Each structure stands twice: as C-alpha cells, then as structure tokens.
Structure 1
Amino acid sequence: MATKDLSAYDINSVPSAENMRFGVVVAEWNWEITSALANGAVDTLKKHGATDENISVKYVPGTFELPLGGQYFAELDNVDAVILLGCVIQGDTRHFDYICEGVTQGTKDLNLKYNKPFIFGVLTTNNEQQALDRAGGKLGNKGDEAAVTAIKMVALQQSFK
C-alpha cells in the first residue's frame, strides 16, 4: 500500500514544461477514476508551463489498450512523452493479472522501441476505494505523479543532446 501522498513533491525539483509536448492516453473503463487521473495529469503539466496546444488527450476503451494508444502518439504525433492512465481493480478471476501484465510489458516495450518516455500511470488496486484514494483522494493523485515523471524524463532526455 502506498504510504505517501502521490501529489506531494518538491515543486522546485521539476523543470519547466514550457517547450515540451505531451500525449495523454486515458482508459475509459473505470471512468470515475481515470478521468480524475487525467485531470490531475493535465493540471500538473499546465502548472509547470505546458500549454493547451502542447497537451493532446486521447481515449481508449480500457487499460489493456493503453500501449497501442501510446504507440499511435509515437508514430502519428510529435510528442516528447506519453502518459498512460488507467485503472485495473482486482476481481474474482485472473483477468486482473493478465491485464496488468500486458499493459506493464507493453509500456516497457514502447519506452525501448521509441526511445522516448511512456509513463505508467496505471492504478492496480484490490478494490475501488483504494483506486479512489489514489485518484485525488486521501493518497493524492497518480496523475500528478505521472505528469511530474513525464516532465523529468523529457528534461533528462534533452540533457543528453
């Protein structure tokens, strides 16, 4: 269980996102949770200087489709990083395991194939309350954390140029 506020970070440790372009892919499944993650991510990107014109948000049916949505950004849009936002809640079957494994592997593969940051902003929780706690509830918002990670990873990549 997370023991820290996902939205808590040193604001001064985050570079400016003023000249960075971001793709955000949001799963429609568990919409109450994923829309909150998306709002957190977009708000955090803007707080650090990203403009509306440099943030593109697209939607996929479920969490399993996030990597393909991310690949579309890599191939069809000029973005510096892609944030993948979804939520998988444990059920009574192994479906949870297959979805989590697939999206995790897919995200890793995208990072390496395209040599750009694809940020894993997927909640994998035991129940809905744990997800709500991490989507703007008492444990902050994983979308905020994903946005900060995206900004820092783009800055890191740019530092090598």
Structure 2
Amino acid sequence: MNQKTNSIIEDTQIQRPPAGGQRFAFVQSCWHREIVDQGREAFLSEMERRGVDAGRIDLFEVPGAFELPLHAKLLARTGRYSAIVACGFVVNGGIYRHEFVAEAVINGLMTVQLEMEVPVISAVLTPRDFHDHEEHRKFFHEHFRVKGTEAAAACVDTTGGVHIIRELAKAA
C-alpha cells in the first residue's frame, strides 16, 4: 500500500493553491477534553508550520463525538471551508453503546464528506479499550498529538488534490 503511483494529478500543470489562503474548520468534542485538546493543539501547530495562519482556522466545540457529523455538515453547507476536521474520543466504558456511537460518528463524517463534497478529516479515535487511569490517559494524550499532526497534513494534501481535480473537471 505504500507504493508510489503516477496519477493525472501529479502530471497536470494545474498548481495546488497555497494552503495559507484557504479556510479550515476544526470541530472537537468536549468528552475527555484534556486528551482531545492535544489533537487541536497539534493540528494548529502543524498548520502553522505548513504556512496556514491561525486566523484562517475556525474552532468549534460540541458536547460529544456523536454531535460531530451534524456540526461538520452545517459547516460544510456554509461553503466557507476548504476542509473540516472532526476530533473526538469515543471510549468503551464497558457498555455496548460504544460500538454504535463509534460507527455512527465515523459513517456520519464520511457521509457529510461525500454529500457536501468538502473534505472532512477524521481525528476521531474509537479505542476498544480505554480505562481512565494514568497509563491510558498518557498514551491517548500523546496519540492525539500524532492524530492532530496527521489531520493537518491531510487537510493541506487533500484540499490541494481536490482543487486540482475540480480544475481538471472544468477543463474537460
């Protein structure tokens, strides 16, 4: 899966727009805020490193991960954002509800992306095992930093690719 592929996107003369000129939305859930905040902070740091001014990123909060897809859809509908990042933590607290919520959130985010044609980047973690003790808090605290950085890279890369594809479609 880590193979280099040639694509029409790479061969085109159409240039990717600079990421610094686009607007992005970052929506995070507040459940386990001290952990999820790490994703936001890492995302903002990486976007800055990639040349995106913090003033081009709007931050939103929702109570829990279940609310992320609706908020993402409403933001996409505004037409203001090149991409939307959803960041949340769906933990298994030993109840069956975890699997239903995790599936609904991830499927909901994908549906928004496909229906609205705006990239929706998921930084939603849905671990099967999370226990509220120091070892797991520390692990997921660091893991959200990784996911935030990855989400920023995905934003910049995906929006550039989407721009090229839209320009190719216009030219066809």
TM surpasses 0.5: yes
Q: 2:154: which partner in 1?
A: 149
Distance 2:158 2:141 in 1: 22
Distance 1:143 1:110 in 2: 20
Instruction: Quote the offset at 1:16 in angstroms.
Output: 4.9
Distance 1:46 1:53 in 2: 10
Q: For residues 49-85 of structure 1, give each alpha carbon's deviation from its aligned partner in whole angstroms, at most 9, with x where no partner exists.
A: 1112210000000001011111121123501000000
Distance 1:123 1:30 in 2: 12
Distance 1:85 1:18 in 2: 21
Query: Which has the higher Rg, Structure 1 or Structure 2?
Result: 2
Aligned pair 1:133/2:133, yes or no?
A: no
Q: Give the TM-score, by structure 1 length.
A: 0.83
Match of 2:82 among 64, 80, 83: 80
Instruction: Quote the offset at 1:94 in angstroms.
Output: 0.9
Three-state SS of the structure 2 residue aligned to 1:90 is coil
Amino acid at match of 1:80: S
Do the aligned partners of 1:22 and 1:56 also contact (CA within 8 Å) in 2?
A: yes
Amino acid at match of 2:141: A
Do the aligned partners of 1:135 and 1:142 also contact (CA within 8 Å) in 2?
A: no
After the TM superposition, which residues 62-141 of structure 1 pair with which residues of structure 2 at under 5 Å, given as runs? 62-76=64-78, 78-125=80-127, 126-128=129-131, 129-130=135-136, 132-136=138-142, 141=146
Q: For residues 65-116 of structure 1, give each alpha carbon's deviation from its aligned partner in whole angstroms, at most 9, with x where no partner exists.
A: 0111111211235010000000111121111101101101101101111111
Instruction: Quote the offset at 1:132 in angstroms.
Output: 3.9
Q: For residues 25-44 of structure 1, give each alpha carbon's deviation from its aligned partner in whole angstroms, at most 9, with x where no partner exists.
A: 00001101111111111111
Three-state SS of the structure 2 residue aligned to 1:135 is helix
Do the aligned partners of 1:134 and 1:141 also contact (CA within 8 Å) in 2?
A: no
Three-state SS of the structure 2 residue aligned to 1:65 is helix
After the TM superposition, which residues 22-37 of structure 1 pair with which residues of structure 2 at under 5 Å, given as runs? 22-37=24-39
Q: Where in structure 2 are there 5+ consecutive unaligned residues?
A: 1-16, 168-172
Do the aligned partners of 1:18 and 1:50 also contact (CA within 8 Å) in 2?
A: yes
Which structure dedicates a bigger proportion of its chain to helix? Answer: 2
Call closer, same or farther: CA 1:35–1:140 in 2, change over 3 Å: closer
Q: 2:163: which partner in 1?
A: 158
Q: Give the TM-score, by structure 2 length.
A: 0.78
Q: 2:44: which partner in 1?
A: 42
- Counting aligned pairs with the same residue, the percent is 25
Instruction: Quote the offset at 1:117 in angstroms.
Output: 0.5
Three-state SS of the structure 2 residue aligned to 1:93 is coil
How many pairs does the alignment contain? 146
Which structure dedicates a bigger proportion of its chain to strand? Answer: 1
Q: 1:8: which partner in 2?
A: none
